[in-house]
Structures are given as C-alpha cells and as structure tokens.
Structure 1
Amino acid sequence: MPRPTPALRAMAMVALVSVLGVLGAATAAQATAASSPAVQPGVARADRPAAPRAMWVWDTSNPQAVVSLATSRGIGQLYAAVPANVATSPKLAQLRSLVALADAAGLRVDALGGDPGWVDNPSAAVTSWLEPALATGLFTGVHVDIEPYNTPAWTKKRATVVKKYLATLDAFQTAVGSTPLEADIPFWFDEIPANGSTLDREIMKRTDAVTVMAYRRLADGVDGTIALSANEIRSGAELGVPVRIGQETNHLGDDAISMKQTFYGQTLTQMETQLGLVTTAYAGSPSFAGLAIHDAIGYAAITG
C-alpha cells in the first residue's frame, strides 16, 4: 500500500490538528513525544484483544495526535510502523510514547513493518526487524505488509516469489512464538495459485489473522468492497482465521481507477455510510473481525 509522501504528510498533520481543535484537544495534539510517559520493555500486553476497528500509522512523530484521532473515531487498534534495528533508532522514543498513550486510552498497538525484499532474505528480516521489535516489549502483536508483488521477479517468476513469501511467513511464525502474527493481503490473492490452493488461504494458514486490502469507496456492487472481500471472508470462516477488511483514505491519483479505491475527497459521513454497509453485510460471519483504515494521515484529513 502507498506510504504518504512528505508533502501529503505535512498537509494531513495540519488537518489532524484542525480536527483535534474541533474536538477540544488541540493542545494535546501539540505535545511532543519526548514529553509523554515511556513504556518499559518487557511489559506483557496479552490483555489487549483485537478491536473492531484498526488503523495503520506510518508516521509516529505525533503520538498524542494519533491517539486522539483514534479515540475520537472509535479506533481500538493501531498498526504502528517500526523501523529496522529499532533499538538504535530515534523513532524508539516516539513508539514508547505512542504505546504509553495508547495504553492509557485502552488501545492495542501492533508492530507494523514490511518490505518486498524480505522474501529474498527472511532470516535477515527476522534479525534486523522482527526480533528487535519484539525485544522492546511494546507491542501486542506483529502486523506485516510485505507486498511480494512489488518485487521485480513477480511478473516473470511469480511461483518462485510466492514460495519465498510463504517461507518468509513460516520464518516469522517460528520467531514470534506466542505473539500474534497478522498480514496484509490484497483481495486478488484468492486468484493466485499456491501449494495446490490459493495464496490467500496459504497465508491464513501461517498467520493468526489477515487484513484484506479491498479498497473501494463503494461497498455494494460487483466491484464494491463487499464483493471483493467475499472469498477471503469465506476462507477465513472455513479455516478459523479472523479477517479484517481494509479501506483507503489517501489520495492515490485523479484518474477514475485511483479515485474509486479511496475515500479521499469525500466526507466522514459518506465514508461511514459505506463502512456501515460492509459491517452489516458481514455481521453474521464468524471470520469477520472488523475494519482497518489506511491510514492516520489520510483519515485525519476526512471530516464533515
């Protein structure tokens, strides 16, 4: 999924402060990460269950703003971006602040990371990203967004990439131990062959939950969110794996294909109407685990 550009990030952070001002929390939004309480490594977080709504957080530079946005809009779980070798990263202070504030608000925080290159060297990914993230003691779970289809080999050697990707998930599952492991997947993984099955199902067998990136601004119709995510919801029910449905809020482009994938340019009321249709459609499914919003930057800019 696209990470927000620096220009968009700056614009959205201004919008986020504006949103918080309306909520009477502008002062809190200006708090710096350094002034927030720290969380000591080693604190158990198994008491934080998965929440009905989650949100990707790629920019952790303003922890208070993120937590205020989440609590004001019913987000109970954060996927917080963690850099490689986090123990020596200046972002560690931001993450400690974010988790401390999230804990105080009753939010769950999972370590978010991913790179297509991980499929070529899973052991390095475990050593440089996964193990340092877990060692902080900050996170309830691990959430990966690897996107193997962005590797150069995907077009010409897809079967090989698929095999490597699944091996990467196997390595992660071994390394996380009892910590929950979740993965982002595009809705079309149900069309990719893997091990005599399909890639979405093989991923579910290796994870504790998945988030399906079924990015559409309309819930209904043959090309709507509900139809695009139906196979994953069904597979999740058959395999006993929770399935969350992801929705986009960032600007992806001005062409028709890009615009139909995001709520960018719409109001919060319009967005909630469509999210309500998705939730209602899958309310009776044992696998439906709720929604995930991509991401804090884009979501903050949607108002009204």
Structure 2
Amino acid sequence: MWVWMHEAAPPDPAAVAALAVQQRVTEAFVSVPWGGPTPATHDQVAALRGAGVRVSALGGDPSWTTGADAVTWMQRATAAFLFQGVHLDVEPWTRRDWAGRERELLDGLARTVRDVAARTDLPVEVDLSPWLAEAHPRQFGDIVARADAVTLMAYRDRAADILASSAAARRAIAGARKPYRVGVETGPVGDPEPSAGQTFADDGRTVLERELAAVTGSLAGDARFAGVAIHDFEAWRALQP
C-alpha cells in the first residue's frame, strides 16, 4: 500500500502497522520528502519493518522527467539505509503541458528511471497508467525495460474492468519479463475528472475484497503478477464495511 507522510499530520505509525498486519500487506511505499527522511519517516519505517513489512521509499513529481532531481531525491531518501526499495510516482501525464509533449515527457521518464536505477543497488519500481501501453507503446516499453518492477494504476472498481483496462500493459510487461502489481484506488478521484467507477471509495471494504479476490484469482497463473497495491493507507482505513 501507498503511505503518504503528510508533513503537517503524518499518519500514526502504530495505526499504519496495524492495518498492514490486519490486511496482510507485504510491502509499503512510504513517501519521503525532498530533504530526506524526517523523524516521522524513521518512526513509520521502524513500525512497519517491526511488523514484518518490507518498506520502499516513495517519491515523485511530474517535473522529474528532466534534470537530476529524481537522483538527488533518491540519494537523500536512501542515505540512512532505511529502505529496501525505491518506488517512483512521477506521472508526467498529469502535467499541464502534457498535450503535444507526450513522447518527449515519457522518454524523459524512461531516462529518469534509468538514472535512478544506475545510482542505487536497491530495486526500482515505477507507477504507470495502463492506458499508456496502448497510446504510447514504445515509450511504455522503454520505461518498463529500465525498471525492476511496475505498479499498474488500474483504477477501476470492478474486476472485469481492472483486468480489461490493464490487459495491453500486462502483455507488454510479460514481454519484458518484469514483475508487476495491479494498483487500485480507495479514495476520492477528481483528476482529470470525477468518476465513481475509478475508485472503491463509494463501494466499501466488502466490495473491494470481493473484486480483488476475483482479480487475483484471474491472474494467479501469471508468474509476473506480484499482487495488488492499495492507494492509499488513509482512504483504505476509512472505507466503510
């Protein structure tokens, strides 16, 4: 699951660890600010690792398709040896200048993933929207090739839609022989446009568990499938039954 460490009010480490244990979470992506781990980051990582959860440093900004900012962030985030992986959430397709620059920005993301991976011995995972595999197959493939693993943000609230929307991306990842997770949303969705069909926020925990069981059952025979990722801790905990 994603765990966003909001500066003004970071989540309680004990609560995060408790949910992770309850829901059998094996890995948490814990956000690290630009300046590096804070005391709150240390407390959160300690609680999760104490509960047997693997922890990756989570970071990203849509501007990280140019320059060396991602490498600088990664080096600060991992300097204290807190983490067991690096998780990049850059999402250049959310930029205001995305239209007309799609290929350029995705090529930049591929370079960013390459540069980060070259400067760390930790595995580097990257968040990608599945539709990129159909709209920009070459660039999608280049990014996947440079990462150690991919999380597909297949933000739909029914198993059939999750599987259908991620099918092309999963085929591309299989060709690259990389592991992948299927990510789903449990919080409000308002960008680029609100859609109840993109999140489990209005469905509740029972529906989430039912649909994810169907997804994992369908993908059980895929050796590259590494499980489901939930966005994010706070929204997941707040889900109604």
Matches of 1:267 and 1:144, distance apart in 2:
28
Residue matched to 1:160: 104
Q: Of the candidates 177, 180, 190, which is equivalent to residue 240 of structure 1?
A: 177
Partner deviation per Cα, 1:63-113 (whole Å, 9 max, x = no partner):
1111111111111110000001115xxxx1111111211122110010000
Match of 2:63 among 117, 124, 134: 117
Q: 1:143 corresponds to which letter in structure 2?
A: H
Q: Which residue of 2 aligns with 1:29?
A: none
Counterpart residue identity of residue 62, structure 2: P
Residue correspondence of structure 1 range 77-96 to structure 2 within 5 A:
77-86=27-36, 92-96=38-42
Instruction: State percent identity of aligned pairs.
Output: 37
Residue 231 of structure 1: aligned partner: 168
What amino acid is aligned across from residue 56 of structure 1 in structure 2? W
Letter of the 1:105 partner, please give it.
A
CA deviation vs aligned residue, 1:142-187 (integer Å, no higher than 9, x gap): 00000011223321222221222211112111112x2100000001
Equivalent position of 1:147 in the other structure: 91
Large movers: runs of 4+ above 3 Å: none
Question: Which residue of structure 1 lines up, in the alignment, with residue 157 of structure 2?
Answer: 217
Work out whether residues 92 and 105 of structure 2, in 8 Å CA contact, stay in contact via their aligned partners in 1.
yes
Distance 1:259 1:112 in 2: 26
Which ranges of structure 1 fall in alignment gaps of 5 or more residues? 1-54
Instruction: Give 1 or 2 for the bigger CA radius of gyration.
Output: 1
Distance in 2 between residues matched to 1:80 and 1:124, nearest whole Å: 19
The 8 Å contact of residues 134 and 168 in structure 2, kept in 1 or not, is answered as: no
CA distance in 1, matches of 2:101, 2:139: 15
Root-mean-square deviation (CA, aligned residues, Å) is 1.6
Which runs of 5 or more residues in structure 2 are unaligned? none
Amino acid at match of 1:106: G
TM-score when normalising by structure 2: 0.92
SS of match in other structure, 2:195: helix
SS of the residue 1:138 aligns to: coil
Count of aligned positions = 235
- How many Å apart are 1:244 and its aligned residue? 0.2
- Helix, strand or coil: the match of 2:50? helix
Verify the 8 A CA contact 1:190 1:231 in the aligned structure 2: yes
Aligned to 2:20: 70
The code of the aligned residue for 2:95 comes to T
Query: Which amino acid in structure 2 is aligned with residue 134 of structure 1?
Result: T
Determine if the alignment matches structure 1 residue 294 to structure 2 residue 227: no
Match of 2:212 in 1: 275
